[in-house]
Amino acid sequence: MSGLVSTLEDTLSKWQAEIHGILRITSAYMFMLHGTQKMFSFPVEANREFMFATLNPGLIGVLEVFGGALLLVGLFTRPVAFVLSGSMAFAYWMAHAEPLFNTRANGGEAAALYCFLFLFFAAAGGGGWSLDSRKK
C-alpha cells in the first residue's frame, strides 16, 4: 500500500502547477457566472434589476465579472484574488452570518468557500497556465 501512495504522491506532485491552474480557471469561471447573472441575467435570469450605483448587484457584479475574468486568465492574480476574497468575506458577514458559522442554515457556503479559495490564490499566485507566470 505504501508504494501505491508514494507513486500517487509522485504523480500528483508532477502535475501540481497544472492542477493549481485548473482550480483557478474553474473557480474563476463559476465565480464569473454569479456576476453575469447579476449584470446580464445570464445564464439564469436575475431576480432584481442591475444598477451600477448599488453595492449588490452593482459593484459586486462588476467585481465578479471583471475580477473573475482576470483570475480566469491569471493576470494580476494575487491582488485581484485578495480583493475578491475580501468582497466574499464582506458578503458572508453582511448577508449570511446568522446563524453564526452554520453555512448550511445561512446559505453562505459559496461566499465562505470563495473567500478562502481566493485567499489561497492571493498567497499562492495563479499556478500553471497563468499570464502572471509568463511575465517572469
Please report, for the chain, the start and end positions of each structural domain, with discontinuous segments joined by +.
Answer: 2-130
Residue 53 has a pLDDT of: 66
* Predicted confidence (pLDDT) per residue in 107-124, tens digit: 899 999 999 999 999 999
Sign of CA dihedral 31, 33, 37, 38: positive
Global confidence as pTM: 0.88
Which of 27-36, 37-46, 51-60, 71-80 has the weakest average pLDDT?
A: 51-60
Looking at the chain, how many residues does it have?
136
Confidence of residue 136 (pLDDT cuts 50, 70, 90): low
